[in-house]
Structure 1
Amino acid sequence: MVDRPNKPTALATTPGLPPQPQVDISEDNSRVSASLPTGESVEVLLKGATVISWKDRAGNEKLWLSDAADLDGPKPVRGGIPLVFPNFGTTPDHPATSKLPQHGFARTSQWEFLGKSTSESSPGKGPSDAAVKLDFGLASSTVDKSLQGLWAHSFSAIYSVTLNQEGLGTSIVITNDGNEPFEAQVLMHTYLRVKDITKVEVAGLDNSEYLDKVDAAKAKTQSGAVTITGETDRVYTPAKGPSEPVVVSEGGEPVFTVVRDGLKDVVVWNPWVEKAGGIGDFEPKDGYKHMICIEAGCVRGWLKLEGGETFEGGQTISY
């Protein structure tokens, strides 16, 4: 073969195409990150398929993550978007899940990265229409052996994280792969970052029933916008259904809008001073001032999946 002295170099990009979304896997295969050509980014741990970072085009972090979060060890991640399944909290009165750890095993299990799909920019349109979706999988056979016997049901789950210029979407598909029915709960435990919790209002929950877990789980009805003035732990079932936006405002300006699909409940949580001080992995201790959890899920009661049946649910967060 004759070596040409002036042979062309490899092209870094295809001529005529604008920059495209990028996806990277860490060297230790512990996390997947994606970014758009406009600057937005997301990072997901394979542990729990936990979203630990979501930034806008200017590099501003939209999620709150504890400085003491256990990203590599056995504990669930404090912050970001942990995934709750198949039980919410502890469930001593539900025999099928009573022996499972708090919030189930999905958030501590090792998920498999199934791949990406992209909506790429077209020539002449620029990068504004680009998007990227990351898919993660978990099955009953891949859950830790010590937990399989505590919830002996055959299932598979696909969790998708979709980043676009307008926001972030997370969705889950859960399939009962067995012949016997099972009951489960699911929740996306989203920690949103705010500047000052005392200036936050949450709209879209007016006239909605909720369980006040700080007040002996009493049933109450919301009047007006939700404000945070102390420890708050409420499970709402919004009166207008999942498609009604839940809007988080700060100082009168909307900062987040959450729209749900198939997830009928919304948990609003902030630990405030004393509770934050007693949570070992909540750092800094005054971090409660800069976060509010708006958690989309199905946790009042139980989802029942017959053999072969599938449940789908998700949320879209925009800013």
Structure 2
Amino acid sequence: MTDEMSTSDDRSVEIIDGVNGLQKVVLHQHHGSSVEVYLYGGHVTSWKNEHGEELLFMSSKAAFKPPKPIRGGIPICFPQFSNVGSLDLHGFARIRFWSVDNEPPPIPANAINRVFVDLIYKSTEEDLTTWPHSFEYKLRVSLGPGGDLMLTSRVRNTSTDGKPFAFTTAYHTYFSVSDISEIRVEGLETLDYLDNLQKRERFTEQGDALTFESEVDKVYLSTPTKIAILDHEKKRTFVIRKDGLPDVVVWNPWDKKAKSIPDFGDEDYKHMLCVEAAAVEKPITLKPGEEWKGRQELLAVPSSYCSGKLYPREVSESS
């Protein structure tokens, strides 16, 4: 099934059937970049540049079979990150069916050349049995004329009982990389982090950049608004910009853990890295009627090394 929602100067939004008949929304920009987002989970599963190169990692064993989550892309972790408490791992938003929003937020004046879709998920009776709070989650997935991908979330407390609720959240972004052992992450040096491999003990990052040679599962705290992932082999840098999300989660399961994950290929860990804009350490609290807004913007720009340093030309010009 195909449902063309809008077209303008070679920009388009369409709803088509994806894997196993699950519906997905496809965004196209005129120069060739594209994004795919499944209504199941409000889950971005593909982000391609103007050359058709895939920028997100998807597991070779990803299951598109509800109620299992989809492994890879950008899962939405809500209303909790991790598995603290009685909820499903990373909450339930990523294993629910979302809808196209017929009452979307207003379009910012500077977004006139962007192509986007607005999705919405409202708490159900099933949700209320495990997390007794009424809410409305609006998600805008937006593709810019330069190929940048932006996710904007709005969570509103819609309860009528007068009670506030608190949640943690993350954009669980899986980046596609050439070789994890050759990747550097800049912007998190000297920061404190919680190490999930050591019972969430708090440490301070010592290196001048993050590099990878074993399993990593860390939550960096009070992070800057911009983080860079340098892929020397592909001469590409991912730039993450974020608002309303103070933490950054960095995760790679490495070889032993990868083999223990049913929907993850044994060698997949070599070609992925999760760097996630998140609010984990301090839960976000909303009173009835209050709304929280968070945003993550992803850019992929050409880069190279010079004495171990990034040539900052294109990154700084797009800052």
TM-score range, shorter chain: 0.7 to 0.9
Partner in structure 2 of residue 292 of structure 1 = 273
Matches within 5 A, 1:302-317: 302-317=283-298
Equivalent of residue 259 in structure 1, options 226, 232, 241: 241
Change (3 A) 1:24 1:48: same
Partner in structure 2 of residue 176 of structure 1 = 157
| Mean CA deviation greater in 21-30 or 47-56 | 21-30
Partner in structure 2 of residue 6 of structure 1 = none
Question: What is the DSSP-based 3-state SS (H/G/I as helix, E as strand, rest coil) of the residue aligned with 2:259?
Answer: helix
CA contact 1:118–1:130 (8 Å) conserved in 2: no
Equivalent of residue 137 in structure 1, options 120, 143, 164: 120
Counterparts of 1:99 and 1:299 in 2: how far apart (Å)?
17
- Amino acid aligned to 1:303: I
1:20 is displaced (CA, Å) by 2.7
Counterparts of 1:315 and 1:80 in 2: how far apart (Å)?
14
Counterparts of 2:221 and 2:11 in 1: how far apart (Å)?
36
1:39 aligns to 2:32 (yes or no): yes
Partner in structure 1 of residue 215 of structure 2 = 231
CA contact 1:205–1:238 (8 Å) conserved in 2: no
Counterparts of 2:236 and 2:133 in 1: how far apart (Å)?
42
Equivalent of residue 162 in structure 1, options 126, 142, 156: 142
1:274 aligns to 2:256 (yes or no): yes
Question: What is the DSSP-based 3-state SS (H/G/I as helix, E as strand, rest coil) of the residue aligned with 2:72?
Answer: coil
Per-residue CA distance 1:3-25 (angstroms, 9 max, x = gap): xxxxxxxxxxxxxx983311111
1:105 aligns to 2:87 (yes or no): no
1:204 aligns to 2:184 (yes or no): no
Aligned-CA RMSD value: 2.1
Identity %: 35
Per-residue CA distance 1:206-261 (angstroms, 9 max, x = gap): 1111011112222111121011110000000145x3x2x10000228552000111
Which of 1 and 2 has greater Rg? 1
Question: What is the DSSP-based 3-state SS (H/G/I as helix, E as strand, rest coil) of the residue aligned with 1:225?
Answer: coil
Counterparts of 2:143 and 2:222 in 1: how far apart (Å)?
26
* Structure 1 stretches of 4+ moved >4 Å: 115-119
Gap regions ≥5 residues in structure 2: 1-6, 301-319
- Amino acid aligned to 1:177: T
Question: What is the DSSP-based 3-state SS (H/G/I as helix, E as strand, rest coil) of the residue aligned with 1:23?
Answer: strand
- Amino acid aligned to 2:239: T
Counterparts of 2:121 and 2:163 in 1: how far apart (Å)?
19
